[in-house]
Amino acid sequence: MLREKKITKISRGVIVFLLCIAYLLPFYILNILALNAPDRVFYEGNLFIPDFHLENFAEAWTTSHIGRAMINSAIITFGTLALTIICGGLAGYAIARFPTAYNRFVFGLIIGCMMIPGIINTVPLYTLMRQLKAVNTLWGMIFVCSALAMPSAVFIYTTFIQALPVTLDEAAALDGCSKFQIFWKIIFPIIRPATASFVILNGFGIWNNYAQAVFFLQSSKKHNVPQALSVFFQQFAGAKWHLMASTSMIAIIPVVVVFLIFQKQFISGLADGAVKG
């Protein structure tokens, strides 16, 4: 019996170890490619030790303009999150507290379209964006991404606010708060977990958006990270893997750092969302 337990323990350890290798190895190989000298095309000899050609990163940084793309991605991500949290939070409050026919319609419309992916309306949206002069602008991209994230926000905020006791609103109303103040000063701070799970579920997706960026961020000054990488690859680095790999490394680092800092909240937030959904 004891021996059997030991065998399970060891075999489990081996499986987990191999799995972790399978998950880390591609990143390590990307790193090797990023550090290889430009003329090293054939991996003769050792496969696991790179050339440590650090100049690649400097060259990748200047030629790919990935820094500019990261700033654009940051503006789009924060702008989208802020806009969607404010609009979605207010809508969730109105829907939860004033379930009139109008608000039932708003909820039904937005949640009913939840499963429709952006690509379905991207082409007609493109003509609209051209009329609004919003193509190749960051604010235009913020509105597009915000519309795509809106169902998630409305759903999360409505469910959270519905679970809050109405006495909270009533007490605040007695103190002379307007409806907007009740939302902004009382409800919104209480439902911070709702905001956290909205950010967790949508933040990286907005940062990584490519299917919309292909259409709406074509001018090189407005590229976000994925669009900048794909254009860099197509126009320049398709044959220069060392540069493409080091640019990808640079693009991955901020995302991984943010994830590692918040990984505890992240994984528990996802699990909460899974149980409630």
Partner 1 sequence: MQRKKNKAAQFLSLPALILYGVFFVYPLLRGIGMSLTNWDGMGQATFIGLKNYFDFFSDKRALHDIQTTVIFAVGSAVLLNIVGLLYALLMNTEFKGKSIARVIIYLPAIISPLIMGYIWYFLLQPKRGYLYYACMQLGLPDLIGNWMSSYHSALAVLIVVNVWQFAGMTMIIYLAGLKAIAKDYTEAAAIDGATKWQLFFRITLPLLMPAIRINVVTNIIGSLSVFDVIMSLTEGGPGYATESLSIYIMRMCYGSRTGYSTAVAMILFVIILIPVLISMRLTRQKG
Which of 219, 247, 214 minimizes the C-alpha distance to 233? 247
What is the token pair recorded at 69? 């793309």
Closest approach of partner 1 to the CB of residue 15, in Å: 7
CA nearest to 198, candidates 144, 265, 142, 251: 265
> Which of residues 60 and 229 has its CB atom nearest to partner 1 in the complex?
229
Q: How far apart are CA 8 and CA 16, in angstroms?
A: 12
Q: How far is the CB of 249 from partner 1 (least distance, A)?
A: 10
Q: Smallest distance, Å, CB 58 to partner 1?
A: 20
Coil, helix or strand at residue 218: coil
Distance of CA 26 to the CA centre of its chain: 21
Task: State the burial class of residue 89 (Cβ atoms within 10 Å of its Cβ: 0-12, 13-18, 19+).
Answer: buried
Q: Which is nearer to partner 1, 1 or 115 (CB)?
A: 115
Least CB distance to partner 1 at residue 210 (A): 5
Which one-letter amino acid corresponds to residue 156?
I
